[in-house]
Amino acid sequence: MINLILLTGFLGAGKTTLLKSILGTFSDKRIGVIVNEFGTINIDAVHLKRDGIKMAELDNGSIFCACIKEDFLSALVSMSSTGIDFLFVEASGLADPSSIQQILRTIENKTISNLDYRGAICVIDADSYLGLAEVFPALINQVAYSSAIILNKADLVDKKRLDIIKSVITQINPDALQHVASFCNVDIKRIIEDLQCNDRDSVASTNTFESRPHTYTLTAEEVLPLAQLKQFLEIISVSAYRIKGFSNTDKGSMEINIVGQNVKIIPWEGAAEGTQIVIISSVGIKMLSVIVSELDCGLKNKLHF
């Protein structure tokens, strides 16, 4: 029997931070991880790869959308034959997990070891959730189909705002246990031990080809000037939900982590294999226009699609 746990949450809410904590906490267990990204390059997987971890990377769509759902089913069946104790699935930021039970039913006779779905843990960005949930139905469904909710980045909001978020979450899902945190610093072992599967009826996911966010990938082989790269990223971040990746710069290897206009470019402990930057946006052609325009201003012929 394999314990299956789903991790959901909007872009940049802290899912990968939580998963890194989980891998450290359960280092004595045999672990499998499925990492799902909307972009064509799986940036989060770079953070998570380590010896002894069985990993599958599913890119270019949501695992709950027809675009790559078959790949998700195949990954689940494949993981069931690896002898692991726990399987953690990190869903993409706009994933709508409301069809998870239906998905699992379709493979229950195909797995080698049974998958015991323990439930979903949803990570919420306390600083931005209320506004985003008005725009994206998937964020409401992430909460509705969760068994535990981590109200992350609580240090960025005051008590009044936090109380409002708690109330909204309770209205959506009164049964889910709520945990307030910063940097996903929670007793994750206890949370997982206490998980009880949400028995809400499975319905069709809102993830469709039409609702997919627009993603762009920029790469470079040569070393980039950090000052120009930072200026470029700060400008285009206004039109992006999320920007992340790695870059080789004249100041060393850098990790890029941008949520909204909160731009973080910090030294990366490993050596980046060239520059790979994933940009996630809903504004489509406008975003493409912004990128091209800003590349022309400073990084033309250095960064490219």
Transcribe 136-170 into DSSP letters: -HHHHHHHHT-SEEEEE-GGGS-HHHHHHHHHHHH
Residue 289 is predicted with a pLDDT of 82
Residues 83 and 172 in one domain: yes
Q: Is residue 199 in a domain?
A: no
Residues 189 and 222 in one domain: no
Distance CA 64, CA 76 (A): 13
Q: How far is CA 68 from the centre of its chain?
A: 16
- Whether 270 is covered by a domain: the verdict is yes
**Which residues, at least 6 apart from 282, have a Cβ–Cβ distance to it below 8 Å?**
213, 214, 241
pLDDT at 186: 97
Which CATH number belongs to the domain containing residue 158 in this structure? 3.40.50.300
For residues 192 and 258, the model is more confident at: 192
Predicted confidence at residue 300, as pLDDT, reads 75
Neighbour count for residue 287 (Cβ, 10 Å): 21
Do 189 and 234 lie in a common domain? no
177 touches 194 (CB < 8 A): yes
Least confident of 63-67, 103-107, 108-112: 63-67
Top pLDDT among 104 and 134 is at 104
What CA–CA distance (Å, rounded) separates 255 from 245? 6
Q: Which domain holds residue 258?
A: 214-298
Question: Does residue 59 lie in a domain region?
Answer: yes
Residue 224: predicted pLDDT: 92
Taken in order 214, 220, 226, 227, the sign of the CA dihedral is negative
Strand, helix or coil at 100? helix
**Residue 41 near residue 59 (C-beta atoms within 8 A):** yes
Q: Check residue 110 and give its pLDDT.
A: 94
Spatial contact of 124 and 150, defined as CB atoms under 8 Å apart: yes
The total number of structural domains that make up the chain = 2
**What is the pTM assigned to this prediction?**
0.81
- Worst-scoring range by mean pLDDT, 37-41, 58-62, 75-79? 37-41
Q: Is 135 helix (H, G, I), strand (E, B) or coil?
A: coil
CATH number at residue 233: 3.30.1220.10
Are the CB atoms for 68 and 101 separated by under 8 Å?
no
Please give the backbone phi and psi of residue 293, each rounded to the nearest 5 degrees, phi first. Answer: -60, -45
Residue with tokens 């960025």: 156
Give the mean pLDDT of the chain: 88
Where is mean pLDDT largest: 32-41, 43-52, 187-196, 272-281? Answer: 187-196
In angstroms, rounded to a whole number, what is the distance separating the alpha carbons of residues 122 and 204? 19
- Structural domain contains residue 27: yes
244-289: pLDDT as tens digits: 888 999 998 898 988 877 888 989 876 667 798 988 886 566 777 8
Sheet with 252-259, strands from edge to edge, namely: 214-220, 275-281, 242-249, 252-259, 262-267
Is 171 in the same domain as 231? Answer: no
282 vs 73 pLDDT, higher one:
73
Q: Are residues 189 and 225 in the same domain?
A: no
Is residue 29 domain-resident? yes
Best CA proximity match to 48, nearest among 90, 13, 97, 78: 90
Same domain, 173 and 261: no
Lowest mean pLDDT across 28-32, 139-143, 287-291: 287-291
**Do 67 and 118 have their domain in common?**
yes
The per-residue pLDDT for 304 is: 85
For residue 73, which phi and psi values (nearest 5 degrees)?
A: -60, -45
Q: Are residues 286 and 164 in the same domain?
A: no
172 and 244 inside one domain: no
User: Could you tell me the pLDDT band of residue 105, with boundaries at 50, 70 and 90?
Assistant: very high
Specify the 3-state DSSP secondary structure of 255.
Answer: strand
Residues 221 and 266 in one domain: yes
Tell me if 209 is assigned to some domain: no
Same-domain pairing of 187 and 262: no
Torsion of CA 136, 138, 140, 141, to 10 degrees: 170
